[in-house]
Amino acid sequence: MHTITALVFDDFETLDLFGPIEMFGSLPEHYRIQFTSMAGGIIRSKHGVPMQTVAVSELAYQTDIFLVPGGLGTRQLVYNHSFLQTLTTLTDEADWVLSVCTGSALLAKSGVLNGKRATSNKMAWQWVISQSNKVNWVKQARWVIDGKFYTSSGVSAGMDMALGFIADRHGVDRAHQVAQHTEFRWQENCDVDDFYRP
């Protein structure tokens, strides 16, 4: 059983989080999920969806898979030293780190992606890559894998990445079963990016 820790913050992008959670939640025999925030309590997404979180200091389980969503809230958090330090600590603890959309900007700003290949939301591309010139940014990609890091493009790409992660761990047939169960048309080639513009 692997524990997924999702670190959320006010104004996170709703589907960045709940898209991958839908996929991983389809395999309860393999994954348990805990939602955390810096101080705990109620966190609201960009669309006003409230969710209960526990403080990072009170997590019940050690993090195996660290999930970082993006969203408008990332714009301020790149300047929040304590948040970035927490991000670094959870990254160091985890076996795998998955980011969706501008979540990779937070990872880049913290320095954990230095020397790594990564991607992000194409609509926010210039802002994201301005957070670090030490990352090997890959613009044309649905998601990118480098070591323990999986970074995806914008919003819905997190679901493609999550299924890719499931395929890497449990086989492509299992990933297809999850996609079928959720009636999701999985883009299983991480290099095919319909939203890339040169």
Distance of CA 33 to the CA centre of its chain: 13
Q: In 65-182, where do the E strands start and end?
A: 65-68, 96-99, 117-118, 136-137, 143-146, 149-152
Q: Which residues are 52's β-sheet partners?
A: 42
Q: Are 109 and 84 in contact (CB under 8 A)?
A: yes
Q: What is the pTM of this model?
A: 0.95
What is the gyration radius of the CA atoms in the chain, in angstroms?
A: 15
Could you read off the pLDDT tens digit of each residue along the chain, which spans 198 residues? 999 999 999 999 999 999 999 999 999 999 999 999 999 999 999 999 999 999 999 999 999 999 999 999 999 999 999 999 999 999 999 999 999 999 999 999 999 999 999 999 999 999 999 999 999 999 999 999 999 999 999 989 999 999 999 999 999 999 999 999 999 999 999 999 998 887
